[in-house]
């Protein structure tokens, strides 16, 4: 089991470490163009090709979709009752709701639970993106975010993938092959870019960042227990959801906090320490889910 865990976790964090080292060596590295290309081209291609190759039956997958939404919303509701001195509620809630389902979640879930789960993994990823760019932006600024999710190419790639999943003959095969090829770039580029981004961050107020991340883990675990009790989830879905709720806060949280002037320095510390803590928490959860679920 130990060697299995190493084979799952080490490749993911190794690519992040390479990006981190590159970012430290190449000071002031501008990844904006690369990140834009990943969000606008490679990630949508991954979502589209994954849904084509791993069709999701919406009629039978509703428990996963409902659970994917609830494990985002419930931590936010629970964290509304928590207060940390010097930390705005919207900063606290945003980091607890939106986890790193893209950069770390997709590769880890595929390695841990198999590529045959990619369709379900992508559903969780798309749900997180839609809610992040709608409710998440609304939390940061009440005047923004209502229709922002419609500008997200990942959402449209998901819709197209769902519509064409049972009708591959409508488009030439080279379209699907091209999308698959482009999509293969997304995951390693996500991990590398995450490392570069983390290399430019500094951890300030370790005590606060640690307490906040512990509260995130507790809120995520509580939400998972409630969702597992309420909904008829399969063993495979429970494994994916268990890992998703303990993922570190998304780096995107920091970027959005910076854009909307919502304590970006504190969010940067929370995100950076959360990703460092995940080196311990992720292997533990993967071990538990593979052993007992």
Number of structural domains (the chain) is: 1
- Please name which of 244, 246, 239, 238 lies closest in space to residue 278, comparing C-alpha atoms: 246
Tens digit of pLDDT for each residue in 219-270? 999 999 999 999 999 999 999 999 999 999 998 888 788 778 889 889 888 9
Tens digit of pLDDT for each residue in 58-93? 788 999 999 999 999 999 999 999 999 999 999 999
Provide the Cα torsion 254, 45, 61, 56; round to 10°.
-170
- Please name which of 190, 209, 164 lies closest in space to residue 50, comparing C-alpha atoms: 164
Tens digit of pLDDT for each residue in 100-145? 998 899 999 999 999 999 999 999 999 998 899 889 888 887 766 5
Q: Whole-model pTM? A: 0.88
What CATH number has the domain bearing residue 123?
1.20.1530.20
Range of the domain at 110: 2-25+32-292
């Amino acid at each position: 089991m130990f060697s299995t865990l190493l084979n799952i976790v080490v490749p993911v964090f190794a690519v992040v470490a390479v990006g981190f080292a590159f970012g430290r060596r190449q000071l002031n590295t501008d990844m904006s163009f690369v990140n834009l290309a990943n969000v606008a081209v490679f990630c949508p291609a991954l979502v589209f090709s994954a849904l084509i190759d791993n069709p999701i039956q919406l009629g039978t997958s509703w428990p996963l979709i409902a659970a994917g939404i609830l494990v985002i919303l419930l931590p936010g509701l629970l964290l509304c009752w928590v207060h940390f001195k010097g930390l705005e509620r919207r900063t606290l809630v945003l980091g607890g709701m939106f986890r790193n389902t893209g950069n770390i979640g997709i590769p880890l879930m595929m390695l841990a639970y198999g590529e045959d789960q990619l369709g379900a993994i992508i559903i969780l990823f798309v749900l997180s993106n839609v809610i992040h760019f709608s409710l998440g932006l609304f939390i940061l600024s009440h005047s923004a975010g209502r229709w922002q999710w419609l500008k997200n190419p990942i959402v449209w790639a998901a819709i197209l993938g769902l519509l064409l999943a049972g009708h591959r003959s409508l488009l030439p095969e080279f379209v699907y092959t091209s999308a698959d090829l482009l999509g293969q770039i997304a995951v390693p580029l996500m991990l590398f870019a995450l490392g570069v981004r983390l290399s430019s961050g500094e951890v300030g107020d370790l005590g606060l960042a640690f307490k906040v991340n512990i509260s995130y883990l507790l809120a995520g675990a509580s939400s998972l227990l409630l969702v597992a009790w309420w909904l008829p989830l399969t063993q495979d879905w429970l494994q994916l959801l268990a890992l998703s709720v303990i993922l570190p806060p998304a780096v995107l949280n920091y970027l959005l906090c910076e854009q909307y002037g919502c304590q970006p320095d504190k969010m940067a510390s929370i995100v950076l320490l959360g990703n460092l803590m995940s080196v311990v928490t992720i292997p533990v959860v993967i071990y538990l889910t593979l052993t007992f679920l």
